[in-house]
């Protein structure tokens, strides 16, 4: 007697367990993207109408987000732990400051030069990644972060040394074509930083989705398999460090144009690197919007925790909030939001197998 086993139940695709499935390129998908752009534009317009203090906070968020995007490329998407990005940030800032003060460059004209120098520094810092990994690479980048302020102090004739450098406001006035006066420099930097942030986010998104982005993720996930598949591991690591340094240096250039005062003991120490890493972890490693969310957390969390208490207790409260966020959202704020959204809506490419079974 032959026993016939029941046929296994056909499992439904994972996408089918969600409430809504949206196909990329469809009118629903385009409508959602258009709605997101409109909401973001309205939020920027509303933020620009706030007090000067609030506008300055949002400008700091945008600049910080640009720097974290640079760190996200090398650490989040390539798996190379870096604690030295404060050096890229500082080099970009001092390059802009020196060019404006010493050579009377227009502020916007200094940005390409700052990005070029930080790109070269990134290539040099990326060289040790060919031989060492993990914490050993982190120690090398840590040495770069610690050495940068000391180098700035030694170059006193160029950088102002320990006394720092002040860029006069007349050099940082908005360009004439904007129609803004010197007193409106705050709103000029708000819109400039927001515009640059959008460009950098689009660039990072395109890079990650490109063939080079696939190579980055392959190196992160399995370096030996990547090399066996023909991926140029050495070239990928060095170029990623260069691009990451250039983006972080761009943030440093904007920082000089916004603050106008530089000091080696101010915003370019190891604490800045820790701040960038904190923002990356809180926002979400290897996520598109994680750097922006992390920048909001890094800028606003200390401000609001200090409003509840003063002195050392404010630092303790801030640390407790960070620990709680890391425990509750180990994938970061953006990562957790992404998981929640995917339980309701799934976006699939037009050629996804789940769509053929409908």
C-alpha pair distances (Å), 340 with each of 88, 337, 343, 352: 35, 5, 5, 21
Residue 93 banded pLDDT, cuts 50, 70, 90: very high
**Within a domain: 269:** yes
Residue 358 banded pLDDT, cuts 50, 70, 90: low
165-166 and 261-262 strand pairing: antiparallel
Q: Domain limits at 310?
A: 15-356
CA 44 vs. chain centroid, Å, equals: 19
- Give per-residue pLDDT as tens, 130-142: 888 888 999 999 9
The answer, yes or no, to whether residue 3 has pLDDT greater than 80, is no
Residue 357 banded pLDDT, cuts 50, 70, 90: low
Q: What is the mean pLDDT of residues 306-311?
A: 72
pLDDT at 220: 94
pLDDT at 11: 43
User: What is the average pLDDT value for the chain, to the nearest integer?
Assistant: 90
Question: How many domains are there within the chain?
Answer: 1
Distance separating alpha carbons of residues 239 and 85, to the nearest angstrom:
15
**Within a domain: 7:** no
C-alpha pair distances (Å), 223 with each of 83, 90, 206, 231, 232: 21, 31, 22, 9, 10
Q: What is the mean pLDDT of residues 36-63?
A: 96
**Within a domain: 289:** yes
Residue 29 banded pLDDT, cuts 50, 70, 90: confident
**Within a domain: 8:** no
**Within a domain: 334:** yes
- Give per-residue pLDDT as tens, 103-113: 999 999 999 99
The answer, yes or no, to whether residue 356 has pLDDT greater than 70, is no
Report residue 263 as tokens.
Answer: 């000091």
**Within a domain: 229:** yes
DSSP-assigned letter for residue 75: I
**Within a domain: 4:** no
CA 38, 40, 43, 48 torsion-angle sign = negative
Residue 15 banded pLDDT, cuts 50, 70, 90: very low
Distance separating alpha carbons of residues 75 and 280, to the nearest angstrom:
9
3-state secondary structure at position 165: strand
pLDDT at 323: 87
- Give per-residue pLDDT as tens, 179-233: 999 999 999 999 999 999 999 999 999 999 999 999 999 999 999 999 998 999 9
**Within a domain: 100:** yes
CATH number at residue 250: 1.10.3470
Helix or strand run (H / E) with residue 179: none
| Contact (Cβ atoms closer than 8 angstroms) between residue 345 and residue 36 | no
Residue 12 banded pLDDT, cuts 50, 70, 90: very low
Tell me what percent of the residues of the chain surpass a pLDDT of 90: 72
Q: Identify the CA nearest to 88 among candidates 325, 214, 249, 300.
A: 249
Q: Identify the CA nearest to 314 among candidates 324, 326, 301, 323.
A: 301
Overall size of the chain counted in residues: 358
More confident residue, 201 or 24: 201
Helix or strand run (H / E) with residue 347: strand 345-348
pLDDT at 302: 87
Q: What is the mean pLDDT of residues 8-25?
A: 59
């Amino acid at each position: 007697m032959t026993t016939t086993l029941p046929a296994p139940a056909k499992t439904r695709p994972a996408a089918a367990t969600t409430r809504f499935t949206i196909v990329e390129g469809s009118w629903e998908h385009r409508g959602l993207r258009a709605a997101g752009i409109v909401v973001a534009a309205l939020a920027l317009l509303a933020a620009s109408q706030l007090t000067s203090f609030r506008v300055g906070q949002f400008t700091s968020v945008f600049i910080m987000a640009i720097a974290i995007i640079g760190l996200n490329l090398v650490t989040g998407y390539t798996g190379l732990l870096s604690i030295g990005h404060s050096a890229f940030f500082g080099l970009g800032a001092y390059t802009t400051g020196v060019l404006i003060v010493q050579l009377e460059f227009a502020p916007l004209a200094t940005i390409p030069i700052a990005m070029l120098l930080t790109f070269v520094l990134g290539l040099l810092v990326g060289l040790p990644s060919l031989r060492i990994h993990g914490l050993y690479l982190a120690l090398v980048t840590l040495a770069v972060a610690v050495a940068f302020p000391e180098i700035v102090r030694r170059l006193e004739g160029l950088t102002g040394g320990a006394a720092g450098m002040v860029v006069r406001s007349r050099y940082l006035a908005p360009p004439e074509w904007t129609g803004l006066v010197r007193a409106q420099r705050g709103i000029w930097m708000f819109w400039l930083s927001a515009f640059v942030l959008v460009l950098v986010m689009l660039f990072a998104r395109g890079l990650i989705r490109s063939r080079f982005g696939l190579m980055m993720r392959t190196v992160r996930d399995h370096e030996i398999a990547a090399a066996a598949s023909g991926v140029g591991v050495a070239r990928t690591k060095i170029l990623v460090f260069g691009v990451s340094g250039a983006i972080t240096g761009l943030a440093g250039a904007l920082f000089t144009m916004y603050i106008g005062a530089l000091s080696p003991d101010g915003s370019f120490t190891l604490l800045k690197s820790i701040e960038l890493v904190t923002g990356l972890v809180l926002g979400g490693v290897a996520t598109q919007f994680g750097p922006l969310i992390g920048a909001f957390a890094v800028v606003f969390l200390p401000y609001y925790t200090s409003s509840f208490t003063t002195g050392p207790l404010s630092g303790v409260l801030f640390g407790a909030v960070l620990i709680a966020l890391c425990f509750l959202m180990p994938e970061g704020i953006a990562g957790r939001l992404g998981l929640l959204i995917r339980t309701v809506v799934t976006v699939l490419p037009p050629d996804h197998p789940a769509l053929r079974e409908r």
